[in-house]
Amino acid sequence: MYKVERYIEELTIIEFMDKYYDLAMTLGKCRSCSGYGKTWFWLGFDFDPEIYWNKYNKFRVIIDKVSLESVTAAREAEKRLHNENIDLIK
């Protein structure tokens, strides 16, 4: 079994940009991930996010946290998710 928790928050664009927007830092952290370039990749934006986001007043952040209950290892989690997906297909 797995559990999904949803978190929703709205902030002004100014607050978001002041507190949380640092594209260079975020991309640096992404590139330091051992899976970067192997299991996932980000091509970047074809626009300037700061210019784009400043067209709006608010930014809504939606986060879904998925946790597999009583799973102690990544392989076990993969196997459980795979089995649950197979059951959905049948």
Given a contact cutoff of 8 angstroms between Cβ atoms, the answer to whether 3 and 69 are in contact is yes
Q: Retrieve residue 79's tokens.
A: 């196997």
H runs (alpha helix) in 1-90: 13-20, 23-31, 49-53, 74-89
Domain boundaries along the sequence of the chain? 2-89
Say what the pTM is.
Answer: 0.51
**pLDDT of the chain, 90 residues: tens digit per residue:** 667 889 999 999 999 889 988 988 988 888 898 888 888 888 788 998 889 989 999 989 898 887 767 766 767 767 766 666 555 554
CA–CA dist 31, 13 (Å, integer): 26
